Each structure stands twice: as structure tokens, then as C-alpha cells.
Amino acid sequence: MLPSEEWFGEGTAFDSTGRLAAALLEMAADALPGPPRRRAEEPVSALRRIAGALAPGPLRPMPGAPVDVLESFRRLEELLASDDRDALRRRRMSERLREAMERGIGAMYQPIVELGSGRIAGVEALARFREGSPRQWFHDAAAVGLRELLEVAAAREAMAGLPRLPPGGYISVNISPATLLRRDIVALLTAPAPGRVIVEMTEDDLADAYTWLIPALQPLREAGIRIAIDDAGAGPTSLRHLILFHPDVIKLDTSLTRGIDHGPARRALSGALVALARELGATVVAEGIETAAELRALRDLGVTHGQGYLVAPPLRPPIDQRAILIAVAEAVAA
């Protein structure tokens, strides 16, 4: 019986190319078990190149080929078909994202207020799309390598609304570390009034980026842009990130805010973050405030700023400061 590699393609016996055939079969056998997202694209491209060189027509084993060769062909077909589906999905998603950016991405602004006075200190800019959730859009953009472009487009729309926001207040823009390396985003954030701009990053974004991100942030800070870490307290590495990045703003995750009035563990962790922020000279902002009891408990812990539907939902400018003052006053008095 001929060796396995000689049953490839039309069943022609290969000499020097026989090794290529064997390598192709081995790659096909080894590439499939791992999760699709972990498969490198280069091996798949190599598979296609080798396959094209050995058998320009459809790949098929010679009748009567050994079982191991038949199994390798089956797995190879699955791999190439999967690659075709992934490529089609990426192409379609890329087209959708580019269409969304061409049509324009909407922006809404959720007020961030002083919990003592109700005065608007700033707003968080939130991207909005004609359909679908922003979280899903950014997730899909990351999957096809377009997250940075989408973030730049969203930030540009957000910054365009700055002149219509409450005077003197800041605008907090969500930007991932990779996007901060782009020159266009740096120019966009520093052009209008850097002192009114905060770059907000989540704890997840910082997990593997602190070694190169800290020096990358220095030019922004020198230009007057402040740094906020979002979702503080949501993960086990949060305290380390706070110490390493020395942020200007620490945003308590909604998981801490929700039910903090009757949750001793939430109060203990929030109190620790407030104490750390005091040492760092940072401002603490509580996210997701929905009840008067939560607002009062946060104030008692020393949290000075907050946002949430109790205070105001995401809004389009102009923003009614008087309505927010009333909402906060009623919550404090309740």
C-alpha cells in the first residue's frame, strides 16, 4: 500500500511535493480541534496555497484511499469551509460598520452630578446606532478589526456636541487603549478644550496594557486631558490598576452601586475605593444610581459624584440643569 501522502489529490504519487502533501494533511488534522477564534489565519492561507499547487481542481482522495487519508480530507474540507464562512461574516460585518459610520453615529450624554448640590459636573458621551445595542456594535467591530475606526467615529460625533453642553462641565469619552495610539484620536481630543475632556477606559481594557499604556498617556495628560477608570471594583485586578494608572476619576461599577444601601460588602469595598481615591487625589463617580436610598448611602460613604437614571437618563442637548437639581434634592430629602 502506498504511504498516506501519495493518496492526495488525484492519487498521483509525489516525490519532492509528497512532503508538502503530508504537511497539508497534518495541518488539516491539527488545526480543527481548537476554538475557531484561536485558529491563526496564516495556516489556513498556507493550506490553500499548498492545496492549489498540488491539485488545481477540487480536492478529493483517490477511490480506495486509506481511512486516515479520508478522515484528513474530511477535516480539511471542514476547515476550509469554516474559513470561507468566517471570511464572509467578516466582510459583511465590515460593510455594515462602514455603512453605519458613513450614515453617522448618534451621541447622547448622561449627566454626572455633584451628589451634594445636584450641579452638573460633566457628562458621559454614549454612542447610539439606528438599530442594535452599542455594546454589540463595538463587539462586532473588534471581531473584524474595526473597533478603533468605530471608536474614532463615535468620539468625533461626541466631541461635536461639546459646544451645546453645560458650560464649564467636562465630557467623558470611552476610548480603548489601542485607539489612543492613533494620531487622529489624540488630535480630536486635544483640539477643542483639553481641560474639559476625560478619557474613560474600562478595567478589562487595562488588563494587559499597563506596561505600554502608562507612557502613552503622558502626552495626553500634559495636554490637560484627564483619565478615568471605569467599572472600578468589578474585577480582582482593579486596585492594582488604580495604583498603577493614578487616574483622575474613579468610577464605581454598577454592581457596587446597586443595592449599596443594604449590602455591607458593597459598602465596605466602595468605602475602600473612596479612601484610596482620597489618597490619589481622584474624584469618585458612582454609576447606575437608581434609588434615593442608594444615593444617600453613597453620600454617607463620601462618594461626591454620581450618574444614573434617578438623576437623569442619557439625553440630547440642551440639558435641563434645573430638572436635575430638583431630582437630586428630592432624592436627598426622601
Q: Of 300, 245, 244, which Cα lies nearest the Cα of 274? A: 300
Task: List the single range of 66-75, 105-114, 270-279 with lowest mean pLDDT.
Answer: 66-75
Other CB atoms closer than 10 Å to residue 106's CB: what's the count?
Answer: 16
On the question of a cis peptide bond just before residue 318, with omega within 30 degrees of 0, the verdict is: yes
**Do residues 216 and 308 both lie within one domain?**
yes
Q: Which residues of 292-315 are buried (b: 16+ CB within 10 A; e: fewer)?
A: bbbbbbbbebebbbbbbebbbebb
**Do residues 117 and 34 both lie within one domain?**
no
Q: Which residues of 9-23 are buried (b: 16+ CB within 10 A; e: fewer)?
A: beeeebeebbebbbe
Burial of 81 (0-12, 13-18, 19+ CB in 10 A): exposed
Domain count, the chain: 2
Highest-confidence segment of 144-148, 175-179, 295-299: 295-299
Residues 216-265 pLDDT 10s: 888 899 989 999 999 888 766 567 778 888 999 999 999 999 999 998 99
Of 39, 68, 95, which closes a domain? 95
**Do residues 145 and 79 both lie within one domain?**
no
160 Cβ contact partners less than 8 Å away, ≥ 6 residues apart: 107
- Per the CB < 8 A criterion, the answer to whether 283 and 250 are in contact is yes
**Do residues 35 and 112 both lie within one domain?**
no
Other CB atoms closer than 10 Å to residue 225's CB: what's the count?
Answer: 21
Checking if the pLDDT of 36 tops 60, the result is no
* CATH number, domain with residue 289: 3.20.20.450
**Do residues 170 and 252 both lie within one domain?**
yes
End-to-end CA distance of the chain, in Å? Answer: 88
- Mean local confidence (pLDDT), 69-80: 61
**Do residues 110 and 59 both lie within one domain?**
no
- Per the CB < 8 A criterion, the answer to whether 164 and 196 are in contact is no
Question: How far is Cα 176 from Cα 162, in angstroms, rounded to an integer?
Answer: 20
Q: Of 291, 297, 293, which Cα lies nearest the Cα of 311? A: 291
The confidence band for 12, taking pLDDT boundaries of 50, 70 and 90, is very low
Residues 142-176 pLDDT 10s: 887 888 989 999 999 999 999 999 888 999 999 99
Of 43, 63, 95, which closes a domain? 95
C-alpha cell at 220: 495626553
**Do residues 263 and 172 both lie within one domain?**
yes
Of 95, 112, 145, which closes a domain? 95
**Do residues 257 and 303 both lie within one domain?**
yes
Residues of the chain above pLDDT 90, percent: 43
Q: Of 84, 86, 95, 78, which Cα lies nearest the Cα of 33? A: 78
The confidence band for 17, taking pLDDT boundaries of 50, 70 and 90, is very low
Checking if the pLDDT of 14 tops 70, the result is no
Domain, as residue range, for 56: 4-95
Task: List the single range of 88-97, 142-151, 192-201 with lowest mean pLDDT.
Answer: 88-97
**Do residues 47 and 147 both lie within one domain?**
no
**Do residues 230 and 116 both lie within one domain?**
yes
**Do residues 289 and 169 both lie within one domain?**
yes
For residue 151, how far is the Cα from the chain centroid?
A: 9
Instruction: Tell me what pLDDT residue 271 has.
Output: 94
C-alpha cell at 276: 484610596
Instruction: Tell me what pLDDT residue 60 has.
Output: 54
**Do residues 139 and 34 both lie within one domain?**
no
* CA atoms within 13 A of residue 173's CA, in its CB half-sphere: 30
